[in-house]
C-alpha cells in the first residue's frame, strides 16, 4: 500500500503509508497521490485535504531504492504529465494542508511546499537532504521555496542541504503553524475544519487569484482578480454573507456561524465566469 485515505467531515486525510521507507515515494505511490488529489478536487462533498505520513515521518522524498527495481519516479518535461511525486504539478481548486511530523526532506519538502499551508511539530525536520546525493529538486522545490521564504533563506537550504527544525521553519514562514510533537495531524484537522466553514466559492476564487498572479503582469493580475471576484459576486455568496452580517453575525469579533450544516453538499467545480476552473 502506498497511501491511505480517510474522510473526516468535509476533510480528506491522505496518508503516505510506507513507514519502513520513512514514507519515501516510489512510482506506484506517486500515481496514487495523483489520483487521490484529482478525485478530491472533483468531490463536491469535500472542501479541504490534509496530507500527512504514517509512522512519525512526513516523507523522505523519492524512494531511491525503487530506482534499482524499475519502480523509480517518472521525470518528464511534459508539463501535462504527472510530476515525479505525482501531485506537485496540480493546481487544485481546494486547499491542502500538510501535517508534518519527523522528516519532510528532499521530495518530502517539495510535497509540503506544494500544500497551501503547513502545520509542523516543533521537532520536525525540513531540508534539501537530496543535495548530498546529487538528486535534483524537480517537484517545484526551487520555485516554491524562494517564493515562500525568500531567496536568501531558500539558498541557505538549497546550497547547504542542512536541516531546519519545525521551530525555525515557523520563524521563517515555512511552517504556518507549529505544535507539540505528535499533534500535527490533530492541529491540521482543526485548521481544515475551520477553513471548511467559510463560503467556499469566495475562498477558492481568492485562492486561485493569489496563485495565478505569479505568472501575470500587474494589469493582467488585477484583471484576473476582478474576473474571479465577479464570479463570486454573481454566485450569490456575497449577498447571502451580507444578509448574515446585517442580521448580526460576526459583529464585534463574534464568531460567524457555519455557512451550511454538517453534511450539507458543498460546491462542485468553481466557476470563474468564462468556463474555466
pLDDT digits (tens, 9 = 90+) for 101-128: 999 999 999 999 999 999 999 999 999 9
Closest CA to 92 of 51, 141, 56: 51
* Spatial distance between the Cα atoms of 57 and 23, rounded to a whole number of angstroms: 7
Residue 256 burial class via C-beta count within 10 angstroms: exposed 0-12, middle 13-18, buried 19 and up: middle
Cell numbers found for residue 86: 505525482
Contacts of 246 (CB under 8 A, 6+ apart): none
178 CB-near residues (< 8 Å, 6+ apart): 119, 120, 121, 122, 166, 167, 169, 170
DSSP secondary structure code for residue 100 in this structure: E
Q: pLDDT at position 256, please?
A: 61
pLDDT digits (tens, 9 = 90+) for 196-205: 999 999 999 9
The string of pLDDT tens digits covering residues 27-54 is 999 999 999 999 999 999 999 999 999 9
Residue found by looking up cell 468535509 in the block: 10
In the predicted model, is pLDDT for residue 273 greater than 80? no
Given a cut of 70, whether residue 159 has pLDDT beyond it is yes
Do the Cβ atoms of 53 and 103 come closer than 8 Å? no
In this predicted model, what pLDDT tens digit does every residue of 58-89 receive, in sequence order?
Answer: 999 999 888 777 777 888 888 778 899 999 99
Does pLDDT of 272 surpass 90? no
Strands 48-53 and 117-121: unpaired
- Segment 266-274 mean pLDDT: 43
- pLDDT at position 268: 43
- 101: nearest Cα among 75, 124, 80, 78: 124
| Confidence grade of residue 271 (pLDDT, cut at 50, 70, 90) | very low
**pLDDT value for 244:** 85
Predicted pLDDT of residue 16: 98
168-192 average pLDDT score: 98
At residue 253, the pLDDT reads 59
Q: For the chain, what percent of residues have pLDDT higher than 70?
A: 90
- Which of the four pLDDT bands, split at 50, 70 and 90, describes residue 250? low
pLDDT on residue 180: 98
Distances (CA, A) of 44 to 167, 207, 233, 277: 36, 18, 20, 14
Nearest-angstrom CA–CA distance, 146 and 1: 33
- 1 or 182, which is more confident? 182
pTM beyond cutoff 0.85: yes
The whole-angstrom separation of Cα 164 and Cα 45 is: 37
> CA 119, 123, 124, 126: dihedral to nearest 10 degrees?
110
Cell of 93: 481548486
Mean pLDDT of the chain: 90
Which of 13-27, 77-91, 143-157 shows the lowest per-residue confidence on average (mean pLDDT)? 77-91
Of 2 and 262, which is predicted with more confidence? 2
Give me the pLDDT at residue 207, please: 98
How would residue 6 be classed by pLDDT, with cut points 50, 70 and 90?
very high
Least confident range from 17-26, 45-54, 71-80, 217-226: namely 71-80
Amino acid at each position: 500500500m502506498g497511501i491511505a485515505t480517510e474522510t473526516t467531515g468535509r476533510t480528506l486525510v491522505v496518508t503516505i503509508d510506507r513507514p519502513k521507507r520513512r514514507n519515501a515515494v516510489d512510482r506506484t505511490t506517486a500515481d496514487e497521490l495523483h489520483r487521490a488529489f484529482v478525485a478530491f478536487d472533483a468531490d463536491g462533498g469535500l472542501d479541504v485535504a490534509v496530507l500527512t505520513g504514517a509512522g512519525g515521518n512526513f516523507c523522505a522524498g523519492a524512494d531511491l531504492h525503487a530506482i534499482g527495481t524499475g519502480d523509480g519516479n517518472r521525470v518528464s518535461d511534459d508539463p501535462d504529465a504527472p510530476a515525479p511525486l505525482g501531485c506537485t504539478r496540480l493546481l487544485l481548486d481546494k486547499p491542502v494542508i500538510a501535517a508534518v511530523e519527523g522528516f519532510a526532506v528532499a521530495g518530502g519538502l517539495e510535497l509540503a511546499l506544494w500544500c497551501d499551508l503547513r502545520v509542523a511539530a516543533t521537532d520536525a525536520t525540513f531540508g534539501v537532504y537530496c543535495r548530498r546525493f546529487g538528486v535534483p529538486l524537480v517537484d517545484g522545490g526551487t520555485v516554491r521555496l524562494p517564493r515562500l521564504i525568500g531567496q536568501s533563506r531558500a539558498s541557505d537550504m538549497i546550497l547547504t542541504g542542512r536541516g531546519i527544525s519545525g521551530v525555525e521553519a515557523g520563524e521563517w514562514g515555512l511552517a504556518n503553524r507549529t505544535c507539540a510533537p505528535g499533534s500535527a495531524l490533530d492541529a491540521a484537522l482543526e485548521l481544515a475544519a475551520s477553513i471548511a466553514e467559510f463560503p467556499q466559492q469566495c475562498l477558492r476564487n481568492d485562492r486561485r487569484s493569489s496563485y495565478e498572479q505569479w505568472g501575470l503582469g500587474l494589469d493582467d493580475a488585477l484583471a484576473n482578480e476582478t474576473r474571479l471576484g465577479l464570479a463570486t459576486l454573481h454566485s450569490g455568496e456575497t449577498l447571502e454573507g451580507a444578509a448574515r452580517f446585517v442580521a448580526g453575525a460576526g459583529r464585534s469579533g463574534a464568531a460567524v456561524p457555519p455557512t451550511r450544516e454538517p453534511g450539507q453538499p458543498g460546491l462542485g467545480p468553481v466557476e470563474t465566469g468564462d468556463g474555466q476552473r
